[in-house]
Amino acid sequence: MVSEPDNQICCLLKINMGDDKKKEKEAKPNLDSSDPKSPYYLCSSDNPGNIICPITLNGENYANWSRLAANSLKSKNKLGFVDGSLSRPDDASSDVDAWEKNNAMVIAWLYNVIDKNLHGSIAYAETASEI
């Protein structure tokens, strides 16, 4: 049986460990475009014509489409461009070109899996998070 003070210590350790994990998640992502773990990394097979989702958004299947598209973007470390968690760096930043290139790639990927009848509503989006 665990005594009351020992139980309190265990609870404090769990809380502190949870806080550390939260801080790790809030840490800035690796932005080295040559690192496959970076959201700025594009492999040689990534191109604007890629189809990232087996179904096309038609206005009636958003729940299924968004889940599949989000999983695909997560697998490529690109979900931050869509959910807004990876915002555009300042113009003076050395990362702005890599962000622009990847943002354009994600926009193209999304455009490819959205029905042509809906293209007019997204054609002028400048960021993937606007789509």
Domain borders along the chain are 31-130
The pair of structure tokens assigned to 16 is 């502190």
Q: Which residue shows structure tokens 């475009």?
A: 33
Residues 83, 95: Cα–Cα separation, whole Å: 19
Q: The pTM is what?
A: 0.78
Instruction: Look at residues 26, 50, 58, 64 and name the one whose alpha carbon lies nearest to residue 102.
Output: 50
Question: For residue 29, what is the DSSP state?
Answer: P
Residues 96, 117: Cα–Cα separation, whole Å: 32
Tens place of pLDDT for every residue, the chain, 131 residues?
A: 544 544 444 444 344 444 444 444 456 678 899 999 999 999 999 999 999 999 999 999 999 999 999 999 999 999 999 999 999 999 999 999 999 999 999 999 999 999 999 999 999 999 999 99
